Chain A
């Protein structure tokens, strides 16, 4: 019986190359839609102090797991602005790296689903161990904001029209049933479109605003730079706590830091003023205590700056 004729190896290779080329073109064409991120993980920035390397490396791994290698590259690019910069010591760089990784991995419903699913997979007793459910309270605009802008914007418009934008919604993240796990997987898979979401656009602006304030502080008031870096800890979590933290942060930055950098507010010790204002932060949506404290600080420094400067007595500083 004659053996079936095999196609020549060269022809097989050519076919494989054509198929690979076509698939690659299709992946490129649909990259935005399928959320493909086949970038290589980023390297640590040049000139990074040895003490900061483990923290930055951890940040990179966290953001690759959170979103992907391209997102981790953005983190490294942002961090590079401060490596070797005058006024930024190793401790401050570590703090910026830590807080930036934290803020760049903000807690949206997708992140909570990712964490819950990871908890299931990493459980010491195996994936069959029962875990407690997480019930998280989001606002409707927060939930919708996690979707791509093209879908979210009309929904947000409709919610605003109905008056439900701030309506609280409780979401259960459960691994107790197969349906719960399936739902977690679906929610976590939405990460591929996270960078197109309404929420991401806002978070991107927030991180840049915070970095910009650090940059201006290093130029205008280097002593206050550390206090400005630490303000990022004010914005954490999700739901009402997140909104409150964000509003408090804006109140302090817009009321004290920015006017001081612009030269409108003669605030010689910005770090102390920020600390005083932060001490007045309470979980009050009206921000009454915080606004009062900021107004007091502003009035005080304006008053002090209008006082005539009394020359110091000779030799007083030596006493």
Chain B
């Protein structure tokens, strides 16, 4: 019995079905649903390419399927990590996979005070100092994460490498892209940035209290 006409009909039907998914994929506004529909489209097009022996389409979508799956996994992991960070130590380590490595020589300035900020840094190794305040930043510190959200985007200190080391950097544009592509990430990123800001305010308040506390004591001891 000749089944070629059946395969032809099945191929045409699945191509039509796949076209619906292509339209649905392209109409998605954000990245996660776009990837999900992209994966479904890949699967349907692979399935439709087998009976029609369309090997070019088969090969293309066999390559695109793992790529889409990997990108979806990256996005979901990013949201999960940011969410976890908001509920735990407020660290920004989740950003590391999106950062690029850069070696720094001693004496190199990473950025200058009053300069327009355009990227944030993660210190991997070496020694780095904020020139104006003289504060040395520890390994693992993130610098410049709040500059992205500040209206003026101006650096408030100069960062100098005092002992050769390695940093990771990510531009604000890249973080903005993640933010725009992924609303869940954007929401948790905002919560995280706000939490870090409140943490800074709390630290400042504690320091202010420490400075204010000895004053009455010394005033009291003065006359004695």
Q: Give A contacts to B, CB under 8 Å.
A: 74, 77-78, 81, 205, 208-209, 211-212, 215-216, 254
- Inter-chain contact B107/A209, CB cutoff 8 Å: no
Smallest beta-carbon distance A138→chain B, Å: 27
Chain B residues whose C-beta falls within 8 Å of the C-beta of A74 in the assembled complex: 116
Known pairs A77-B116, A205-B109, A216-B131 / 11 extra A-B pairs, C-beta < 8 Å: A78-B114, A208-B109, A208-B111, A208-B112, A208-B115, A209-B109, A209-B112, A212-B158, A215-B113, A215-B114, A254-B107
Q: Give B contacts to A, CB under 8 Å.
A: 107, 109, 111-116, 131, 158
CA–CA, A78 to B154, complex, Å? 11
CA–CA, A254 to B131, complex, Å? 15
CA–CA, A186 to B84, complex, Å? 54
Chain A residues whose C-beta falls within 8 Å of the C-beta of B158 in the assembled complex: 212
Smallest beta-carbon distance B132→chain A, Å: 8
- Inter-chain contact A212/B107, CB cutoff 8 Å: no
- Inter-chain contact B114/A81, CB cutoff 8 Å: yes
Closest to A213 in B: B112
CA–CA, A77 to B155, complex, Å? 13
- Inter-chain contact A212/B109, CB cutoff 8 Å: yes
Chain A residues whose C-beta falls within 8 Å of the C-beta of B116 in the assembled complex: 74, 77
Chain B residues whose C-beta falls within 8 Å of the C-beta of A77 in the assembled complex: 116
Central interface residue in B107, B111, B113, B115, by most chain A CB within 10 Å: B115
Chain B residues whose C-beta falls within 8 Å of the C-beta of A254 in the assembled complex: 107
Central interface residue in B111, B113, B114, B116, by most chain A CB within 10 Å: B114
Smallest beta-carbon distance A130→chain B, Å: 45
Smallest beta-carbon distance B167→chain A, Å: 16
CA–CA, A115 to B167, complex, Å? 41
Closest to B129 in A: A262
Chain A residues whose C-beta falls within 8 Å of the C-beta of B107 in the assembled complex: 254
Chain B residues whose C-beta falls within 8 Å of the C-beta of A215 in the assembled complex: 113-114
